[in-house]
Amino acid sequence: MTDQDIAELAGYAPYTQIMAVHMKSINHCLLTREQLKDRLSSKKITNRIIIPSDGEWADMR
């Protein structure tokens, strides 16, 4: 998914939390975590997007 895809998903489901994972997988490696954070911050939805670091655990409860 691209940053635009994530923004669209957030728009369709405004009540959800979204977690971006597998950022270093071959099909996602063109977009870094920092780039994703920057692009999503301009859309004002970063409070609903979780982008964990490598090895970081995130609780979605």
Domain borders along the chain are 3-50
**Per-residue pLDDT band at 9 (split at 50, 70, 90):** very high
Query: Would you give the DSSP letter of residue 42?
Result: T
Structure tokens belonging to residue 32: 């870094």
> Do the Cβ atoms of 9 and 18 come closer than 8 Å?
yes
What is the per-residue pLDDT for 27?
Answer: 60
pTM flag (> 0.75): no
> 């923004």: which residue's tokens?
7
Q: Which value, to the nearest 10 degrees, does the dihedral of the CA atoms of residues 7, 13, 15, 19 take?
A: -50
What is the per-residue pLDDT for 55?
Answer: 86
Q: Distance between CA atoms of 50 and 19, rounded to whole angstroms? A: 5
